[in-house]
Amino acid sequence: MGSESSAKQFAEAGADLSLVGVSKRFPGFTAIDDLTLKVPAGSFFALLGPSGCGKTTTLRLVAGLEEPTEGKILIGEKDVTDTKAYQRPVNTVFQSYALFPHMTIFENVLFGLKRRKIRDADKLATDALALVELAHVAHRKPAQLSGGQQQRVALARAVVNRPALLLLDEPLGALDLKLRRQMQLELKDIQSEVGLTFLHVTHDQEEAMTMADTVAVMNEGRIEQMGAPEELYESPKTVFVATFLGQSNLFVGTVSGSGSEVITVSASGNELRVPVERAVAHRGEVTVGIRPEKVSLHVTKPTLTASQTMIGPGHVTDASFSGVSTQYLVEVPGLGEITVFAQNMSRGDHARLGDEVYLSWDIEHAFGLADAPPPSARFVSDTDTASVAVQEREKLEAELGEF
């Protein structure tokens, strides 16, 4: 029995994953375009993007379920591009769980261990089921379990093999919110406990942000931006990232002045300032963004310090109270509707519908993006239903306009 072969041994620790210039083209479209990515050993890495952005294809390439059209895939130092799925030290928690319906839960968990002829397989499988608190259903069939239980079995079946790399394909998609939270914590625990490298694919930005050390935002087969969750949220570099991760108010303007620390962008007569190091482009037409919770609302014109920007006056067009905060929509002439999240503190200004208000924020929170937002849907992601509704309406208006 060749116990030297790596596939038959447990990974001591997670391994690095590298994708070098990987492309995947299907007849008619490119799913992944020249992707280069390095996932350090032991990290929890999330690939985040809307459906169809190529994240699942990336995962399938790593698992060995698809072959790349171009490029190389390395796990640890080994090039696994030409190896088959069963030869790779990788396990996947499938979106559909894919539990074998003709086997018991226990047999499902045992499956990978048996294939690699691991000793004490029965004990390891029992332990893995105990880890996900499902020891009591070991002898049932998958069809007799609830969705959440099946999901945990799928996780146990993958984790029990101690793969160098664990791939998670939207594994929490089918769970309700409470179970989802619980599983997120459990996953995180398991990851830090066994020190595996996790590659997590999801379209849920909150899930990616709470769980992952590093998030890569994918769009149309490319990585838009990669970094720690806070970094991505605080300093997005593209419009897609700024709108897909949370909400952003975006203003398009022209750079009218640049100093050593801030550049000034004039948009419809308003002077917006952005720190130089937080701006991607420093000349020409740029997009300036600010997160809604960074914006303060004033009913009287505030006195500004040097480190603040103010716009206004504008009118409150919508105010919705949601307990801890109130979401305002403020219509500022020339800049359109601006979203503001105001904390409901005892002090501070409250505004009512139709009130004239001024908006201000600290310059250090503003960010400058290279690309311009699409003409509609500036505050929501492309895939948001509200955005789709706006786009549909515009299409309809354009159509009607032709008559």
Q: How many residues does the chain have?
A: 403
CB crowding 110-149: b at 16 or more within 10 Å, else e: bbbbeebebeebeebbbebbebbebeebbeebbeebeebb
- Closest approach, Cβ 98 to other proteins, in A, equals 4
When binding is defined by CB under 8 A, the residue of 18, 58, 91, 202 that contacts other proteins is 91
Helix-strand-coil percent breakdown of the chain, rounded to 5?
A: 30, 35, 35
242: burial class by Cβ within 10 Å (0-12, 13-18, 19+)?
A: buried
Q: Is the CB of 54 or the CB of 64 nearer to other proteins?
A: 64
Q: Per CB under 8 A, which region of 62-70, 182-190, 255-263, 383-391 contacts other proteins?
A: 62-70
DSSP 61-119: HHHTSS--SEEEEEETTEE-TTS-GGGSSEEEE-TT----TTS-HHHHHHHHHHHTT-T
Per rule CB under 8 A, is residue 7 in the interface with other proteins? yes
- Closest approach, Cβ 114 to other proteins, in A, equals 9
Cβ 289 vs Cβ 248: under 8 Å = yes
When binding is defined by CB under 8 A, the residue of 101, 284, 323, 401 that contacts other proteins is 101
Q: Is the CB of 84 or the CB of 282 nearer to other proteins?
A: 84
Per rule CB under 8 A, is residue 174 in the interface with other proteins? no
Residue among 133, 88, 135 nearest 112 (CA): 88
When binding is defined by CB under 8 A, the residue of 1, 143, 177, 345 that contacts other proteins is 143
Per rule CB under 8 A, is residue 65 in the interface with other proteins? yes
Instruction: Return the axis-axis angle of helices 105-115 and 147-159, rounded to nearest 10°.
Output: 20
Cβ 288 vs Cβ 250: under 8 Å = yes
- Closest approach, Cβ 244 to other proteins, in A, equals 28
- Closest approach, Cβ 70 to other proteins, in A, equals 23
Per rule CB under 8 A, is residue 116 in the interface with other proteins? yes
When binding is defined by CB under 8 A, the residue of 63, 125, 137, 168 that contacts other proteins is 63
Per rule CB under 8 A, is residue 84 in the interface with other proteins? yes
When binding is defined by CB under 8 A, the residue of 34, 79, 82, 85 that contacts other proteins is 85
Q: Per CB under 8 A, which region of 51-59, 72-80, 139-147, 282-290 contacts other proteins?
A: 139-147
CB crowding 53-75: b at 16 or more within 10 Å, else e: bbbbbbbbbbbbebebeebebbb
When binding is defined by CB under 8 A, the residue of 3, 5, 36, 96 that contacts other proteins is 96
Per rule CB under 8 A, is residue 92 in the interface with other proteins? yes
Strand partners, 33: none
Q: Per CB under 8 A, which region of 138-146, 211-219, 284-292, 335-343 contacts other proteins?
A: 138-146
**Both tokens of residue 75?**
């796990």
- Closest approach, Cβ 256 to other proteins, in A, equals 56
CA 26 to chain centre: 24
- Closest approach, Cβ 135 to other proteins, in A, equals 19
CB-based contacts of 157, cutoff 8 Å, min separation 6: 91, 99, 108, 109, 111, 112, 128
Residue among 2, 31, 195 nearest 116 (CA): 2
- Closest approach, Cβ 283 to other proteins, in A, equals 50
Per rule CB under 8 A, is residue 76 in the interface with other proteins? no
When binding is defined by CB under 8 A, the residue of 144, 256, 317, 343 that contacts other proteins is 144
User: Which residues would be at the binding site for other proteins (CB under 8 A)?
Assistant: 7, 63-65, 84-86, 90-92, 94, 96, 98-102, 111-112, 115-116, 141, 143-144, 157, 161
